[in-house]
Every structure is written in structure tokens, then in C-alpha cells.
Amino acid sequence: MMFNQALSYDDVLLTPQYSDIESRSEVSLVSELDKNNNFDLPIIASPMDTIVEGEMAVALAELGALGVIHRYNSVLDQKRMVWDVANKVSNKPVAAAIAITGDFVDRAEALVDAGVDILCVDVAHGHHMMMRNALATLKRNLPNNVHIMAGNVATRKGYEALAEWGADSVRIGIGGGSICSTRVQTGHGIPTFQSVLDCSESECAGEIPIIADGGIKTSGDIVKAIGAGADFVMIGSLFSGTTETPGKILQAADGAKMKEYRGMASREAQLAWRGRASSLEGIATFVPLKGKVKYVLDDLVNGIRSGLSYTGCRSIAEFQLNAKFIHQTSAGQVESSTHILGR
């Protein structure tokens, strides 16, 4: 049996190149899902019930990013969130997630009526007959100006299939999330960096935006994802614990303030939104309170702009043409992380 090598974000580094950029403020991160949906930043918050509801979606829109309102609630509740966000940020795109079973068509139509611009068809394994049928149904029933983001897939074939079936953008990545246990439970997955790199070589790349989803731990990982061909990145854990995320602020025994963060296939999440737990491919935990999402986003953006400047590039398109990677050894990984001599 032949085995293909698959690289993760930690396995690679970008090669510094000549730069004439005097300040990272010269670097533009303007990104486009389509001609109607433009953003100042290539960052999307994941449709998880501990990451994005109305307050988070508004905050990210005002900061130039995008938050996808999760689907783990009633149609009426989700519709109210969309309507509220659309009215508070009337000049910004609004996004919400739907499934591919049950009332997904009615939900989609209700969300469009409420003002949604982007529908995220949100399933764990998107390279599937049910996704094909769902996309065909949505394309028949929804206005042409509604952008359909679909996923997740991990292979070039999966990416090309979703593009053929009608997706306007595709989420790339399976099992890479910090609280996702899909690879442990099922044995399936590909490191997200490798998935993005493979999909970027497709003829669909450039026409159907690639959204790198899962495995991103730092601003450097975002830079690597973009260099590999991602048009956007989708983030969960980096935004967890921010003030605007859903859920109460809790206090630990030592006085530390915390918020819950959980995978949507965790036992806790499944019990909360459907009253039973079946296949468990995620975990739940508590994370320290981080403060306003603006501060987290500012740190990420500064790192991304610096990353592009190290290659001498002032835009994402220029960076993707010029990015060069090396494969580092395990010793290189140790050297790349913060370390203190003798420890």
C-alpha cells in the first residue's frame, strides 16, 4: 500500500523574501467571497453555539470580518438573530448556517426573508449524496444573489464536487478543530494545510473561494493557510471565551472567569440542541475569559499583515503568487516555538 505524505501547519514555514514595505499598515487584507460580499479581513467565525449568535456577528461585521450564526436553535430564534444583525449592520453581509435534512429549505427561506446574504450549508462530511441533493434543492428555491457556502470536505475531489453541485464557496478541512475528535473517532481526515494546498491546485480555485477550516492556532497559521491558497480562514477556538460569544460568564473555584466552548458533535452540544447524543466527534471544555473580540482580532490582523510583509507583498493575491514554503523537521518545530535555553 502506498502512503501519501500530508503536511500540517506545524510542518511548514514560509521563506522570508526581499521586502520594501516600511509599515505593515501598507498591507491590505481585503477579501471577496463574490462581487456582492466583500470584507476588510479574510476571517470568518465558525457557526458554533458557543461562538456566534447575534452579538458576535454584529461585532465581527463592524470589525470587517464575518460571523456565521449557528443553526442549533429554532427557525424563529435564528431568523430573529439574522433580522437583528441585518438591521444593526445594514451595509454588511449577514451569514447563517443551515443543515441538509429536516426543515432546511423552510429555514433557508425564512433566513433569506430576514435578510441573510450568505447561507452556510454546515455538515461534517460534505462530499456526500445528501449534500448534492441539498445544494440542488437550495439552488432551485433561493434567489440567485444568495451566496451558498458549503462544507466540509478534505480533498480536491470533494472541493470540485461541491463546486459542480452549486456551492459558491467551500469549507476545506475535516477533523482539525481544537475540540473536534473526528480523526480519533473515525480514523478519517487530512491535515488542513495539505487539504488547502491540494484544493488550490484545482481549476476551480480562483472561481470558488477556499475557506480553510480547522487546525488554526495562531496568526502564523492563518498566513500559512492563505499562502497555501485559502481565500478565507474559519476560526472557532481563537474566538472562544471572548465577551461577545454566547453563554454566561462563569467563575472557577480559584476566581478565574471562564466561558464554555464545545464542539457541535460533543455530548453536551447534542443534548442541548436535540435532547440526545449519538455519534460523539467533539468535546466540551471551559476557556478563560479573553475580553472583547476586537483585541483578539487586532492581534491576529497584526500578525497576518506582518506575515505578508515578510514576503514583500501588499495584498493577498500578490502573496499567494509569491509565497514559498519549506518543510521543517521536528527539531525545527521546537526551534520555531518560544523556548528558553536549558528548558
Tens of pLDDT along the chain (343 residues) come to 778 889 999 999 999 999 999 999 999 999 999 999 999 999 999 999 899 999 999 999 999 999 999 999 999 999 999 999 999 998 999 999 999 999 999 999 999 999 999 999 999 999 999 999 999 999 999 999 999 999 899 999 999 999 999 999 999 999 777 667 777 778 899 999 999 999 999 999 999 999 999 999 999 999 999 999 999 999 999 999 999 999 888 888 888 888 887 655 555 555 555 555 566 556 567 788 999 999 999 999 999 999 999 999 999 999 999 999 999 998 888 888 876 655 5
H or E stretch at 183: helix 182-186
CATH number of residue 259's parent domain: 3.20.20.70
Give domain status of residue 279, yes or no.
yes
Contact present, 294 and 43 (Cβ < 8 Å): no
Give domain status of residue 1, yes or no.
no
Give domain status of residue 49, yes or no.
yes
Among 120, 180, 204, 313, which one carries the catalytic annotation?
180
Give domain status of residue 263, yes or no.
yes
Strand ranges for the chain from DSSP E: 12-14, 31-34, 37-39, 43-45, 66-69, 95-98, 118-122, 147-153, 169-172, 210-213, 232-235, 250-251, 257-262, 284-288, 325-327
- 0.85 exceeded by the pTM? yes
Give domain status of residue 55, yes or no.
yes
Give domain status of residue 244, yes or no.
yes
- 218: annotated active-site residue: no
**Residue 133, domain extent:** 9-15+27-330
Give domain status of residue 147, yes or no.
yes
Give domain status of residue 175, yes or no.
yes
Structural domain total, the chain: 1
- 204: annotated active-site residue: no
Contact present, 155 and 195 (Cβ < 8 Å): yes
Among 182, 192, 242, 311, which one carries the catalytic annotation?
182
